[in-house]
Structure 1
Amino acid sequence: MSRKEALSSFIQQIHARPVVVKLNSGVDYRGVLACLDGYMNIALEQTEEYVNGQLKNKFGDAFIRGNNVLYISTQKRRI
């Protein structure tokens, strides 16, 4: 499997699932992945903003510009 195929498979697996998006600034956004494009622009639903591990804000929908993204990872479902 090529790298591009692996990335496409990962994106399909995490779509509509809880994710953590870490920004270059160190801030984390946690929410449900609504959309992700080739530039790593990310749309989240049910978004929460964490600074230094502490909840700071809650947003319904959020759009994160791809050039600010350090990484995106899956998150266990909230209980």
Structure 2
Amino acid sequence: MSNFQPINPTPFLKSLIGKSIIVRLKWNKTQYKGILISIDNYMNLQLDQTYEIISDDINTTKEELIGEIFIRCNNVLFIREYKEIEQQNQQTDSKPIENDDNNNNNGNINEEENVEDEKVTNNEDIEIDKE
């Protein structure tokens, strides 16, 4: 059995005020990314510096700055905190690792070194085969 404990959403939403969040609407794949300014007792949301993110069926996304918006509570499918660290990690993972000035190649092997190692290994294999 799982130990599921329900959480009151009001304190959760209040903890997100002033932070970047993502709100997904029920009706389509539209999401809004912005800073949560305020909520009310009905859980209506006010966002500032908001980007509208529209995903098409063809796996393309369109992101457009729309500024300050108000989202009525009955349109919301989910709300989550947007962590910029995740976005930065995705960008740094795609960058190639470059050598620094001290000839430290961060664990990468030069192709020349790799070829020399293969030659030594191949010579040893040939000597073993001759015996």
Q: Residue 15 of structure 1 corresponds to which residue in structure 2?
A: 17
TM (norm. structure 1) is 0.81
Query: Of Structure 1 and Structure 2, which has the larger fraction of its residues in helix?
Result: 2
CA-to-partner distance for each residue in 1:26-71, whole Å, 9 max, x for gaps? 2100000001122221100000001116234211201111111111
**AA aligned opposite 2:50:** T
- Which residue of 2 is the match for residue 32 of structure 1? 35
Secondary structure at 2:78 match in 1: strand
TM-score by length of 2: 0.51
Q: Which structure's residues are more often strand, by fraction? A: 1
Highest relative contact order (Cα 8 Å, sep 6+), 1 or 2?
1
Distance 1:11 1:55, change over 3 A: same
Structure 1: stretches of 5+ with no match in the other structure = none
Q: CA RMSD in A?
A: 2.2
- Please tell me whether the aligned partners of residues 40 and 69 of structure 1 are also in contact (alpha carbons under 8 angstroms): no
Q: Which runs of 5+ in 2 are unaligned?
A: 89-131
